[in-house]
Every structure is written in C-alpha cells, then in structure tokens.
Amino acid sequence: MPQKLKESEIKKYFYADADTRYDYFHKMVVEELQFWTLKSSDGTSLLFLGGENEPDAIPAWSNPAFAERYAEKSQLTGYVPFEISVAKWIEVWQEKLTGSGVEICIFPVPEKDAVTLSVEEFSDLIKSQPKVVRK
C-alpha cells in the first residue's frame, strides 16, 4: 500500500527540479517496491508521453498522489493511477518493452524537464540502492 503523503510533501516534490524528483523517486521505489503510472479509467490503455520528434515514454511516479496531480495539472480526464510492482516490472514489463523504443519518464510534471531512461536503465535503477545524500 502506498504511503499517504501530506499536501506539503506533494508540493515539495511535485515542484522540485528534475534531479530532486529523480532522487526522490529512486529512494521511494526502492523502499516501497512499487511505482505508478496512469491508465485509462476503462483499463484499456496506458498514458504515453512524447512529441512528434520524441520516442514514446511511459511516465512513472513513486506515489499515486503525484500521478493524480499530474493528470489534474495536465487536464487529463479519464486517467487513473495504476500500480506496477518492481517484481511485476522485472517479470513481465521489462521483457515486453526491451527493444521497443519506449522510454520511461521519471516523475514528470507539466512544463518542467524530467529524466528519461531506457527500459534497461530504468530496470537497473529500480533494482539498485539509492545514493546517500549528505547534507
């Protein structure tokens, strides 16, 4: 079950820079062994990001609250958060998507840059330990 986030934490990370969102995503996914994307409310399709000259990318967030906020701010109707466990990613999704050209967009937010990884890089990320940040 995902961690319940306070509004202050949602705002802190949703409006952070791409590197901060990436580090937070990594830390939380390694701890909770799940991440979230958006699927159509009828369950028939995932949301793909990408432009005319960009490859398709599956967005990934560390908590459904971030996925919901993205949908709200992007004025996407008919999409709901969809959980993918790390185990299910490794068993099913990784193999299906490897070589497809699809990328994974880490914690995207409207109007800001985000880190995008290949399927292989993403798989390595969610299987690795997060770096320790000393302050």
Task: Work out the average pLDDT over 107-126.
Answer: 95
- Enter the tokens of residue 70: 């993205």
Q: What is the pTM of this model?
A: 0.89
Q: Is residue 30 a part of any domain in this protein?
A: yes
Q: Is residue 82 a part of any domain in this protein?
A: yes
38 closest CA partner among 76, 93, 95, 94: 76
Q: Is residue 95 a part of any domain in this protein?
A: yes
Q: Is residue 25 a part of any domain in this protein?
A: yes
CATH number, domain of 58, equals: 3.40.1350.90
Higher pLDDT, 132 or 119: 119
Mean model confidence pLDDT for the chain: 91
Q: How many domains does the chain divide into?
A: 1
Confidence band of 34 (pLDDT split at 50, 70, 90): very high
Domain that holds residue 83: 8-127
Q: Is residue 1 a part of any domain in this protein?
A: no
The pLDDT value recorded for residue 33 is 94
Q: Is residue 60 a part of any domain in this protein?
A: yes
